[in-house]
Amino acid sequence: MKWTAVNNYEEMSQLTAKRILDVIAEKLSRGRFVNIGMATGYTMIRLYEILAGMLNDAKLDLAGFSTFNLDEYVDGDGKNVLPGNPISYRKYMKGKLFDFIDPSLGFKSENMFFPDAENPEEYDNKIIDFGGLDFQLLGIGFNGHIAFNEPICEKEISNDDFAKLPSHIVELDSLTIQTNARLTADMNAVPRKAVTMGMESILNAKEIMLLACFSEQTAPLNVIKSGIISSELPASFLLQHHNSEIVYTLDKISLQ
């Protein structure tokens, strides 16, 4: 695992946007399709603004560009929340990234994928059918989750089984609900369930970059830095990945 310290949020956003652009450009230049795993939340807002501008300036043909988002909220009927819902991650991605990409570049809205609460494991099959993820972008929850793969007590699951978790519906941790309520300013607006890409698909990505820019992320990052891998800290499984990187901001996070 590679650890990269940057000065602040802007520097982190610029660095990551450039890396994603490079992955997209390199694959497309060889006539290949490219699959990027996307994340949401406050951490990614500036990154997506920068990336949209970089893609427009590069004038790449994006017909072969596909995105696979980590997760989506689930409504009371066990279905994905509707795209028009203010908390929908599909709405987030359109409003933060896709609406700002020049339509003439040929990105197809049908190549923007999200896990489906009514058939979660089919998402893993789709990723495989598309050739796997070339790059996976991640944030880290204050409790150490990645995507919505919440911590599970080591007494309940082995590390091997946790690493093989397929895409699935999850009951959200109380800390996750409290944290995500910041986006809505209303605890009651945050669903208690979500459908998430599983650990197996995440860890099978060819490259993973995790971003951290909140002081509350210091504690889980320090556990990862100690080398401990545990289902009680899902992000620690990146230690097993052959090409993972954690980028963190020095103005908010000081690691041991």
* Contacts of residue 251, Cβ cutoff 8 Å, sequence gap at least 6: 7, 8, 9
> 69, 124, 145, 232: which one is catalytic?
145
3-state SS record for 175-204? HHHHHHHHHCCCHHHCCCEEEECCHHHHHC
Q: Which residue pairs from 123-131 have beta carbons closer than 8 angstroms and sit at least 24 positions apart in sequence?
A: 123/68, 123/167, 123/197, 123/201, 124/166, 124/167, 124/197, 124/198, 124/200, 124/201, 126/68, 127/35, 127/68, 127/201, 127/204, 130/33, 130/35, 130/66, 130/68, 131/33, 131/35
> 35, 69, 80, 143: which one is catalytic?
143
Catalytic residue check, 150: yes
Catalytic residue check, 143: yes
> 134, 150, 207, 232: which one is catalytic?
150
Catalytic residue check, 122: no
Interior CA angle at 19 toward 89 and 70, to 5°? 25
> 35, 69, 71, 80: which one is catalytic?
71
Q: List active site positions.
A: 71, 143, 145, 150
